[in-house]
Structure 1
């Protein structure tokens, strides 16, 4: 049945329940023949006529339009609000359950906007629970629907991010270029800059430095023109990553400091925690002598992540960075504990992070004088990296693994890992 058929059927049903004839419902504003055409689905009433009929039938306008009473609509909106609140408060499993239960409500079927909002919330909660493949599937279903422009971009951002986390760099780039790579590119807005930053990150992950440099400059110009906090943070942070990859540590800190300062004034708790962690990680790489300051920032970010809708990936990544800082600070026992905590947090589907955690664990065991455990951890790095497609990020992981094998005296293993690092980097 069409929408007009359904609206007409509801009007007819309520009219009969009220004991009214078509002529009585129509009088004096409408003709009874017009009401008959509406009830048979042959005419689509205007919003004004629908509102008039709702008043005359003593029912809610939402019921005539969507088949949902005002009370049912209030219950749905309240349930959606509770699900969102659970997600914002970091109760990700609870949020996932609430979104799922709401989607099972038949009353949501005809409420397209609310259903799409609920599915989007479910995708975010599912990602936060660490089920990346399921989150991708939900976003892909949304991509097949007609969505408001901003929601389209938000879904694209999420998909590009998820593909990157799953080591699917080609798809991460493709989803961003679908919206930003066309000749008729849309005017820059906050969400477009954020999508651009996600796409730039995908270029970096793929090792496409030339495209990355061109795109970073374009994003910085767009952010300067917009002058908004969201665009400024996104453009400057990714410019920081690009500068670091180019060997310009101090320049990267300049960009990162600006991004963090804006985030401190305007950011949401989860975004602020992630930015603080990213800044601290960059700080310890650029200025190893400031490792204690960086570690304090990381621990602060970890506390903040625990109170937000941060995913298990976010929390595991934070623990990995803390472990890395502890290695630099010479606190090897603490580093081993942090790396193991990260492994305990990591869900399936994040092999690159698994490899990073095992690498740090192996280094910690080596420093602690446990060569057998160290060798097992470094070999685990190889097993996680072997099936992954080549990319700049994976090249760095193979190089780290090669260094680990070399430190352990595993010359043949080290040579093989160095060769994979070169191949992943396209050399």
Structure 2
């Protein structure tokens, strides 16, 4: 009845059901290393340890006799929703992995569980796992036929696709979400979110007239409302205006977004708006490095309270761009090296622009041929991804670099 590995599996399940880490469960009685070996099945349990763990878990000894995997999806979902801890989310993931969607008696429960898991991967910047969740979310929502769930799943899917560089598919998915929202007369929040992701995808692919028309529709839809949706809509308008070449209007929209949102409403968005303002300043002609530095300082001061790995990488990326524009090339290279110590969680666009920065640094460091070749490859990649304005930006930088070398790429020195 207390044989391994079943005992270890059941022990791990009970611990996760209560939202406890290994350190929280062991207390002063045993070590976390010993508990880990128990859970993995590497060590047999003793009577003393079983009694101690039962007391710590507040269960009868008979609880260990129950077979593992007894937690239902509804139980795991309820625990994860109320505990808000990594252990509870891990338990929910285990339950989803054990439960095939065809065996789930209530697809609504599976949809809600997948929604929570997708948000977890989004926070961590794990786009691969997030995309898998969102693909299944969209299928379940279509089967259920609930317009609210269909719209929200497709909006999230389109947003994930855009960030990974699948812009054309993102446009198609976002267009469907907008159609569902309008046909079903969904809320301003749902309709606005659908329009917003459509605008961002259209702008990414260079469909600026379409993006301009949809972002104007979005601003009109929101009207006098305030809050996060208004701030995000103004941010979208700023992005479109900037890519249309109207830097002044873009700056005005972004400043309105920043001024209209306090940090208590949504601290993460508050930070992201300042990162966006810094990025816009650095991409302006000429770059406004002073303004960018101020916005980055504001964002960095708040990261201690709402830091995620993705936000930290976005901040480091912009600091590297700022250092390059200030001609602090050694600092820029150091920041770039720091970023590459971990897996990059940045969006497709930010990763490409980081590669461009690396290429420009190579050129300043005397590795001309490597830098020029890298720019050429990045321009071709952006072109293949139908990212028109990003591709044009890279070709412009490459042309300027070639002009400074007074010769074609093939004759550039190493």
Q: TM-score scaled by structure 1?
A: 0.67
Instruction: Confirm whether residue 121 of structure 1 aligns to residue 116 of structure 2.
Output: yes
What is aligned with 1:396?
392
| Deviations, residues 357-391 of structure 1 (Å, cap 9, x unaligned) | 12212323444xx212x543443343345343222
CA distance in 2, matches of 1:70, 1:358: 46
- Worse-matched range after superposition: 208-217 or 151-160: 151-160
Mapped contact 2:73–2:109 kept (Cα < 8 A): no
Instruction: Confirm whether residue 172 of structure 1 aligns to residue 170 of structure 2.
Output: yes
What is aligned with 1:191?
190
SS at match of 2:405: coil
What is aligned with 2:140?
145
What is aligned with 2:90?
97
Residues 96 and 302 of structure 1: is their aligned pair in 2 closer, same or farther, counting only changes over 3 Å?
farther
| Deviations, residues 229-269 of structure 1 (Å, cap 9, x unaligned) | 13311221111111112222121111101111223255322
CA distance in 1, matches of 2:260, 2:80: 33
- Worse-matched range after superposition: 393-402 or 244-253: 393-402
Residues 246-285 of structure 1 aligned to structure 2 (within 5 Å): 246-264=244-262, 267-285=265-283
Larger Rg: 1
Residues 306 and 412 of structure 1: is their aligned pair in 2 closer, same or farther, counting only changes over 3 Å?
farther
RMSD: 3.6
Residues 14-413 of structure 1 aligned to structure 2 (within 5 Å): 76-82=77-83, 84-86=84-86, 97-104=90-97, 109-110=104-105, 112-146=107-141, 149-181=147-179, 184=183, 186-224=185-223, 227-264=225-262, 267-286=265-284, 290-302=288-300, 304-305=302-303, 308=306, 310=308, 312=310, 314-347=311-344, 352-367=349-364, 370-372=365-367, 375-387=369-381, 388-403=384-399, 405-406=401-402, 409=405, 411-413=407-409
Mapped contact 2:77–2:92 kept (Cα < 8 A): no
Shift in Å, 1:279 = 1.6
Mapped contact 2:161–2:167 kept (Cα < 8 A): yes
SS at match of 2:183: coil
Mapped contact 2:196–2:233 kept (Cα < 8 A): yes
Q: What stretches of structure 1 move > 6 A for 4+ residues in a row?
A: 69-72
Shift in Å, 1:176 = 0.9
Unpaired stretches in structure 2, ≥5 consecutive residues: 1-69
CA distance in 2, matches of 1:269, 1:97: 26
Mapped contact 1:136–1:159 kept (Cα < 8 A): yes
Mapped contact 2:379–2:395 kept (Cα < 8 A): no
Q: TM-score scaled by structure 2?
A: 0.69
SS at match of 2:262: helix
Residues 287 and 399 of structure 1: is their aligned pair in 2 closer, same or farther, counting only changes over 3 Å?
closer
| Deviations, residues 28-83 of structure 1 (Å, cap 9, x unaligned) | xxxxxxxxxxxxxxxxxxxxxxxxxxxxxxxxxxxxxxxxx99996664223333x
